[in-house]
Structure 1
Amino acid sequence: DRLGIVAANGRGKSTLRKCLTGELEAASGDITRSRGLRVGHVEQSVPDALLDRTFHQVVADALPPDQADSELWRVDVVLDSLDVPEPMRERAMRALSGGWQRLALIA
């Protein structure tokens, strides 16, 4: 499942995200996480460290390190399901449009 949180500036979206990911302790109320729950978020801009990496490399970086070599095929399955053209997969993030960059970060 994917969930989007939309609200005006200053309404606490970032604070809520930090509480949900455990980066920040909630000032009040309770947060209950299901066992095995993974919470992630996509930055508004591509981190500098990723700009020279290819679309394919950025998605592959999301694999657990101990599975990176044996499970690399999963990256191609995901990119195929998202209809990412082969030439696009080998372009550096800095050469992609904002939409393709977002897709790489979400994938």
Structure 2
Amino acid sequence: MSRYWLALLITCASLDAWAQVDGRSVFVRCQACHSLDGEGGGIGPDLHGVLNSRAAARQGFRYSNALLKSNIVWTRENLFEFLQDPQAKVPGNRMAFSGLDTDEETQAVIDYLKGEH
């Protein structure tokens, strides 16, 4: 393989790694209100173990009526839709966040939550 092709291959591999979104770095935006340590105590509910749990089920947090009545289970699909546009998914919820910017960011956060970091 020529040096040119080898350099191009290394550059492309580097760009691909750079393009991947890191869920931890995106979750920093969520940490203003949410914790992930199982302790709670934030403005929003703790998100430890949120995947496949029922919405508005965390003890010690006062949820909006909209979320209480939603009967949502936080599957990957439901969480994806909610993180993209919380008011569209559950109109009337109190989360003061308009949603993540890209599908990649949303998927990265869900993967990060699944890993329980």
Q: Same fold (TM over 0.5)?
A: no
Q: Which structure: greater helix fraction?
A: 2
**TM-score between the two structures when normalised by the length of structure 1:** 0.29
> Which is higher, the Rg of structure 1 or of structure 2?
2
